[in-house]
Amino acid sequence: MSARLTLLELFDAALRAVDGRASVEMALPRDARHSHVFAIGKAASSMTRGARAVLGGAPDTLLITKDGHADPDLRGAAGVTVLESAHPLPDTRSLAAGDELVRRVQALPEDACPLFLVSGGSSSLVEALLPGVSLDDLRALNELGLAAGWDIAQLNARRARLSRLKGGGVARLLGARRARALFISDVPGDDVDVIGSGLLGHHHGHCDNVDRQVVANVERAMRAAVEAGAARGLALEAGVRRFDGDAAAVAAHFLETLRTTQADGVVWGGESTVRLSARHGRGGRNTHLALAAARLLRPRESLTLLAAGTDGTDGPTDDAGAIVDAGTSARAELGGCDVERAFGDFDSGTALEAAGDLVYTGPTGTNVGDILIGLKQTATSLRGLTPPRVL
């Protein structure tokens, strides 16, 4: 089996370990009773399915997710309202979703104990602005943060200053009501005050009755990839901390680690950043990182690398990421793409499409950040492996 197919198998194992439905089913007590469910984020549909599997019946559910991420089985399901919204930049649908969220939370009976399911992407999908703040102000902040390469914690902190919902705003709306909140984390330290810009985080100066629990994170995904490798006779080395910072710098560091490790491969989790130029093309942080690595690989070097988002999307694209090797740049050039031009113009998706190296999964039902997996083909035995699941 090729290294590329093995990488897809390992990535699939990582995704299954942090699946929204399975993670919620494992976390919710069998005797849980919640008559109201609020699910927000890219993994909202899968998390909702997990909640309904445990709760039974038809709890009143508001599901807010990204375009194309709504589970068809939940459309029209009894008690479920599905709102598709905008990501990564908010639009008028984000404000409409925020209005509906506020209305429903405020209308909850005082003795209600709602269940909140929160995953990454929530920051853009739902919003209620402070007086004097406009949608243009919010979009300008998001565009500035994305262009400047702010990390998720910095961007979310700035968003909270404009919002009635962020920074613990939903917890404040609950008042004295009891509630349970389950999170799929895509942020450093699994900080519930940062996930989704802190929709269900702690509100400064307000004591609440919210029981908070992180049910999936990138470390769990990394462990699953390492375990899947071990089941195939591969010794993989997991990163000891989440990667962050400039995508090109992360690519260089990852390749150096992969070259020097005594293991068969390396698995990292985290999120890189890119600082966009005024003129940029197709791609996201994972394809930019992958193309950066491809440019650094030596001719005929036996290393293969996957860089992908666990949510199945990379920035504003429908690609999850890419798998690159020492032949990527040459294949892209043969496909009619100037690799150096594409890299400089942040047009990595165009180059990697020309090379045939893009990875597409569609919505995955989770969102714990990004995964990097590298394999040393000369050091590994890839024989006798079962074909990977179709992602």
Q: Taking the CA atoms of the chain, what radius of gyration do you get in angstroms?
A: 21
**Is there a domain that residue 390 lies in?**
no
HEC string for 42-96? CCHHHHHHHHHHHHCCCCEEEEEEECCCCCHHHCCCCCEEEEEECCCCCCHHHHH
Q: Up-side HSE of residue 22: CA atoms within 13 Å toward CB?
A: 11
Q: Are 133 and 101 in contact (CB under 8 A)?
A: no
Greatest CA separation for the chain = 66
Distance CA 271, CA 259 (A): 21
Are residues 243 and 372 part of one domain?
yes
Q: Up-side HSE of residue 28: CA atoms within 13 Å toward CB?
A: 31
Are residues 190 and 232 part of one domain?
no
Residue 373 sits at φ, ψ, to 5 deg, of -130, 125
Are residues 366 and 254 part of one domain?
yes
Are residues 237 and 157 part of one domain?
no
Report CA 247 to chain centroid distance, whole Å: 16
Determine the angle formed by the axes of helices 92-106 and 135-148, rounding to 10 degrees. 110
Distance CA 330, CA 338 (A): 10
Q: Which of 160, 190, 216 is the last residue of a domain?
A: 216
Q: Are 70 and 82 in contact (CB under 8 A)?
A: yes
* Secondary structure letter of residue 140 according to DSSP: H
Distance CA 165, CA 200 (A): 9
Are residues 245 and 188 part of one domain?
no
Are residues 223 and 209 part of one domain?
no
Are residues 47 and 99 part of one domain?
yes
Are residues 226 and 103 part of one domain?
no
Q: Are 87 and 123 in contact (CB under 8 A)?
A: no
pTM strictly above 0.75:
yes
Closest among 345, 347, 346, 353 to 324, alpha carbons compared: 353
Tokens of 337: 């793409």
Tokens of 381: 């035995």
Tell me whether the omega of the peptide bond preceding residue 188 falls within 30 degrees of 0, making it cis.
no
Place of tokens 């650094």: 296
Q: Which of 216, 244, 271 is the last residue of a domain?
A: 216
Question: Residue 280: exposed, middle, or buried by beta-carbon count in 10 A (0-12, 13-18, 19+)?
Answer: middle
358-359 β-sheet, strand order: 236-238, 265-270, 370-376, 303-309, 321-324, 358-359
Are residues 180 and 163 part of one domain?
yes
Task: Map residue 325 onto helix, strand or coil.
Answer: coil
Q: Are 272 and 307 in contact (CB under 8 A)?
A: no
Q: To which H or E segment does residue 295 belong?
A: helix 285-296
Domain that includes residue 284, residue range: 3-14+219-379
Number of domain units in the chain: 2
Are residues 211 and 223 part of one domain?
no
Q: To which H or E segment does residue 193 belong?
A: none
Provide the residue type at 389 as one letter. R
Distance CA 157, CA 161 (A): 7
Closest among 320, 370, 311 to 121, alpha carbons compared: 311
* Per-residue model confidence (pLDDT) at position 1: 60
Q: Which of 156, 185, 216 is the last residue of a domain?
A: 216
Q: To which H or E segment does residue 260 belong?
A: helix 247-260
Instruction: Print burial letters for 212-236: b (CB count within 10 Å at least 16), e (below 16).
Output: bebbbbbbbbbbbbbebbeebebeb
**Is there a domain that residue 116 lies in?**
yes
Are residues 107 and 235 part of one domain?
no
List, run by run, the mean pLDDT of 10-residue segments along the chain (391 residues): 93 98 97 95 97 91 96 93 92 96 97 96 91 88 77 76 90 96 95 92 87 98 98 97 96 98 97 83 94 96 97 92 98 97 96 98 96 82 43 42
* Secondary structure letter of residue 390 according to DSSP: P
* Per-residue model confidence (pLDDT) at position 382: 52
